[in-house]
Structure 1
Amino acid sequence: MSQYAHLLATNYTALVAQYLAEDVPSFDYGGYVVGDGEQVAILYCKAEGVVAGVPFFDEVFKQLDCRVEWKVKEGDYLKPEGKLEIARVYGCARKILLGERTALNIISRCSGIALRARKVSDLQKEKGFGGVIAATRKTTPGFRLVEKYGVLVGGLDTHRMDLSSMVMLKDNHIWSSGSITKAVHNARSVCGFALKIEVECQSEAEADEAIAAGADIVMLDNFTGAGLQLAAQSIKERWAARGKTHFLIESSGGITYETCATYFCPYIDVLSMSTITQGVPHVDFSLKISPQQ
């Protein structure tokens, strides 16, 4: 199991219990058919992927009194020809099948996200971009912890986990408050020193206002690659001349794996991409009970 499993406290066990309860809200008719005989099921990987979601997969079967033995490590890159055995699940037949689909759904999605993140991370290293590349809060309700976990295993930053993790003031916050300055001051009055404040900006003038008001991060939203680099350089140099350098510039909006390299430059501190968690193909896994010898 990867070191990232140590990040998980106790809430993930409750999530897994909810996933199981969602899949079997009343009777397990299939379980009645197969009974309680002890069986071994083999987990196969059948497509390119980065193994991720191991602690969630394990917890599904732990709650069903089964045991999992892995032949690979979390974070391993796999590209099997045909199908590759990567784990075995030991337990009674009905409980293995009770957890089968829930466990497969978790590892398939988590590993798909980890693969997308790994490919972006590899491109970042290849191009020598020294900033942070992060996911966004565009995740699946009820599945965010699994998806953010996959981002970490793939080698990228999770960004904020939820609305309580950092103050991000977007266009609707600004319009509702009346100005960037007022929104930043109002936010600081309640979030204190412990939380960073980020402001979404549509122009250099808005970025300047946000920095002057005390924002820690300015997000240049929906700028093109070339336009972004010019704007970021201009902002950094202008404020450096005034002796203020303790702020970050983030770029977001429409950035994909195919286009992200055009945004790499020394004046950008953070690139955030929703495509790390949205529209990501699942990795094909299957769990097959071994025939009786």
Structure 2
Amino acid sequence: MASTYGDVQHLLPGNYKRLIANWLEEDCPSLDYGGFVVGESEGEARLLGKSKGIIAGAPFVDEVFSQLGCTIEWHIKEGEALSLNPVQHCATVRGPIRKILLGERVALNILARCSGIASKSASMLAALRAQGWQGTLAGTRKTTPGFRVVEKYGILIGGADPHRHDLSHMTMLKDNHVWACANNRAAADGGVADPKDFVSIAAAIPRAVQAAKAAGGFATKVEVECRSVEEANAAIGAGADIIMLDNFTAEGVREAAKQLKQEWAGKNRSFLIEVSGGLTEENAAAYTCPDVDILSTSSIHQGTSIVDFSLKVSLR
């Protein structure tokens, strides 16, 4: 899916090529016995789409075969839906058959997973748009170690927002950060904070936000996870850029978001409201309202189904 300013693949960092080299090495760290049987004959293989979904992950597949000295010609654009009858010829790979087979499983694994994430992201976003909500659907940082760039890329192809990419991309103060800050303050005063004491937690939020802003400077946004309207007000008052209402009920979200937007209207405080915690395609619409700016969920990239592909070789 191309953005207004260019193809999403132009966002990819150069290090993704190193990742692919590592994945190829992981799959064949020593001798390629099957490749020995095949030899060096030239040929081609058809990449076939075998289940519903949209295709995503082309730059990674391109790089897999490029590193093996093969070429690939795509017959379907990234971000398009597969039109099965009963299968779709998505691309043609050309080069030494041994090298095509050497990259086959790595390429298919990447493509299947990335396409599955893109398909789920697009489906959930379409369901929310059908309800009239025009906010941002975002993923989370609950990604697979070593595979994050592919999963975030799939989210983008599906039309959703990847959210922060790592701990250095925006500051998110979750309950553990704020609780630790409250406990440190209590210890300095000679006591211990009660984790059930919302007043203590809310009182610690301004200190945590100020520390985060001092460290990150003007260029780094600060988001605060809040369990109550009281905590949200403390975060907004301290200058937080994004308020995350975490694990609220659907009704509680709508009430809290409306109250916060009304309470801070005209008070020179600009902030976004994000909702997170247990959101799925089945229940997310219940949490939407004009006062909610962002819905974030790991359900669009964690544990999603794959889109099925296969590679079929033919000698030239």
Match of 2:246 in 1: 221
Choose from 18, 33, 45 the match for 1:14.
Answer: 18
In the alignment, the residues of structure 2 paired with residue 128 and residue 17 of structure 1 have an alpha-carbon distance, to the nearest angstrom, of 44
Q: Which residue identity does 2:274 align to in structure 1?
A: E
What is the CA–CA distance in structure 2 between the aligned matches of 1:72 and 1:146, rounded to whole Å?
19
Q: Aligned partners of 1:171, 1:6: CA distance in 2, in Å?
A: 35
After TM superposition, give the deviation of residue 124 of structure 1 in Å: 2.4
Instruction: Map 1:222-237 to 2 at 5 A.
Output: 222-237=247-262
1:121 matched to 2:125? The reply is yes
Long gaps (5+) in structure 1: none
Paired AA for residue 298 in structure 2: S
Deviation above 2 Å: which 4+ runs of structure 1? none
Residue 57 of structure 2 aligns with which residue? 53
Unpaired stretches in structure 2, ≥5 consecutive residues: 183-203
- 1:49 partner SS: coil
1:181-220 matches, cutoff 5 A: 181-220=206-245
Aligned to 1:43: 47
Cα offset, 1:82, TM superposition: 2.3
- What's the CA shift for 1:245? 4.1
Which residue of structure 2 lines up, in the alignment, with residue 176 of structure 1?
180
Cα RMSD for the two superposed structures: 1.2
CA contact (8 A) 1:46 1:81 kept: no
| Cα-to-partner distance string for 1:212-251 (whole Å, 9 max, x where unaligned) | 111111100001111100110011101115x234011100
Q: Is the 8 A contact 1:236 1:245 kept in 2?
A: no
Query: What corresponds to 1:135 in structure 2?
Result: 139
Cα distance in 2 between the residues matched to 1:8 and 1:93 = 29
Alignment of 1:57-136 (within 5 A): 57-136=61-140
Assess if the C-alpha contact under 8 Å between 1:51 and 1:76 holds in 2: yes
Identity %: 54
One-letter amino acid matched to 2:55: V
TM-score norm. by structure 2 comes to 0.90
Distance 1:245 1:50 in 2: 40
How many residues align? The count is 291
Distance 1:127 1:99 in 2: 42
